[in-house]
Structure 1
Amino acid sequence: MAKWGEGDPRWIVEERADATNVNNWHWTERDATNWSSDKLKELLLGVRVEGGEGVCEVTEVDKLEGEASINNRKGKLIFFYEWNIKATWTGTSKTGIKYKGNVEIPNLSDENDMDDLDISASLSKDEPDTPLLALMRKEGVQAVRSALGGYLGHLKTVSQLDSEKD
């Protein structure tokens, strides 16, 4: 324990005339919710899978609730995000019949690994059963998981670039 007046100069903020947070030593927080919302929509709307049964793609992000922030403590970046996402997918079978369904991701957060995400794909009400649902549940869910992993990569890249500018 340091004696009074012999502490680390980075900690002495109130005695500085400008009260500067030297080298972001103290906790700083930036809201990344709007950027994240746009990026998640962009990534999810790019999800498309093809198989012997036909083609499926995410066509609309119906619900995107949550928040994201980038924190800096002693020069270390810490990411907090929590999202509840619902999207609509449409599929076209090889015979040309169109189907609609939903994708739900209730737990995209910094507390869960990408492999632990609950991603469910289902058909909309009144839709007849189709092999496209199996395509969405297998390959579509993996494509969505990959897109969400891309979000985390982009979040870290953007925050690195921003912190280098500061």
Structure 2
Amino acid sequence: MALPPSTANWHWKNKNVTKWGKDWFEQELLAVRVKGEKEGEELFISDVKEVDGDIELGQRKSKLITIYDCKISLAFEGTASDGTSVQGTIQIPEVSHEITVDKTSDYSYYWSPSASSPTVDALIAQMRKSFPPILEEIFARFPAAMIDTHGKDLTVSADPSRAGTPAPGASSSSASGTAAAPTTASATTSAKVEKKAGKVNTSTVEVEATLVATADDLFSLLTDEKRIPMWTRAPAQSAAKADTDYSLFGGGVKGKYISLEPPKKVVQTWSLSSPTWPEGHAATLTTTLDQSSESTKVTWVLQGIPKGQEDEIKNNLEGYYIHGLKSIGLGSIL
């Protein structure tokens, strides 16, 4: 029997849509063409040279969340008022959920025309003002397009909550009848795990990232109740003391601190609020921070994962922990 949507959608899921996202940007950006103020002036995007970065759609507690941080490189061509051919590139170092949705900062544009003359310079000066609003309108449509296209693959309900993420128009469908089948099969298998008596067969998952930040700062970001939402984008509870409870991702992950050694190590129990996680079962998450002269290597070792969930949990740790920290500007140097 299928789980009710409210229960099935509690599960922590990620879907990598990087290839789709790059194709979407290419299709939309190649349509940009702007006329200048003078007769014959024109500039258009001739090539999407690069869309570099990971693009994912995540779900936790029935919320769909867009997770992406891309560097985009564009080639442009055009004609100046005197008929001179104009070429060059535009570099946009960050197109991300944080800028588009959270409005944490402004977009940056770096123009590099291949030649210079009075008429070319005049055209480029115009386009520096005309292009950003057009490009940013495209960037603003991207999160909703991602949800429209891929949300049905993560949600069972027909009306998932999208707090913190732009919702598409009312005519868009969030789910289809075919999307429930794989989720139901997974949930049925997981239900059998919960009903098993006795010891749960477990394994260990390890992920790591090298981030441009001090160990002190990272330790604070991982344990300070006021700073945790900066990278999880969800409410948190954390007293950061041994033998105290904590809650991350709006209650999606819960546990108790076992020991804290600032700024080098945190040991805590770790339980996922999901129907696939055996009732009453807790794993142990050990986080170590090893600071060098320019960065800090962070290693997460999660011991006690129920067998069969290794890949899923690893993807979640990489998507929600590592990508979450990278998304606030720490930046991996790997």
TM class, shorter-chain normalised? 0.7 to 0.9
Structure 2 counterpart SS, 1:111? helix
Tell me, yes or no, if structure 1 residue 46 matches structure 2 residue 31: yes
Structure 1 counterpart SS, 2:98? coil
* Partner residue of 1:94 out of 69, 81, 98: 81
Tell me, yes or no, if structure 1 residue 138 matches structure 2 residue 126: no
Aligned mates of 1:59, 1:159 — CA distance in 2 = 28
The residue number in structure 2 matching 1:123 is: 113
Aligned mates of 1:144, 1:122 — CA distance in 2 = 17
Aligned mates of 1:30, 1:94 — CA distance in 2 = 47
Q: How does 1:22-37 map to 2 (within 5 A)?
A: 22-37=7-22
Q: How does 1:1-16 map to 2 (within 5 A)?
A: none
User: Structure 1 residue 161: deviation in Å?
Assistant: 4.6
User: Structure 1 residue 45: deviation in Å?
Assistant: 0.7
Structure 1 counterpart SS, 2:19? helix
* Partner residue of 1:155 out of 141, 146, 159: 146
Aligned mates of 1:160, 1:100 — CA distance in 2 = 39
User: Structure 1 residue 25: deviation in Å?
Assistant: 1.4
Structure 1 counterpart SS, 2:99? coil
- In structure 1, the gaps of 5 or more residues are 1-21
Task: Report how many aligned residue pairs link the two structures.
Answer: 146
Give the structure-2-normalised TM-score.
0.41
Aligned mates of 2:60, 2:96 — CA distance in 1 = 20
Q: Does the CA contact (< 8 Å) of 1:60 and 1:88 recur in 2? A: yes
Structure 2 counterpart SS, 1:112? helix
User: Structure 1 residue 49: deviation in Å?
Assistant: 0.8
Structure 1 counterpart SS, 2:129? helix
The RMSD of aligned alpha carbons is 2.3
Aligned mates of 1:72, 1:41 — CA distance in 2 = 26
Answer 1 or 2: higher relative contact order, Cα 8 Å, separation at least 6: 1
Give the structure with the higher percent strand.
1
Tell me, yes or no, if structure 1 residue 106 matches structure 2 residue 93: yes
Aligned mates of 1:138, 1:90 — CA distance in 2 = 16
Displacement over 6 Å in runs of 4+: none
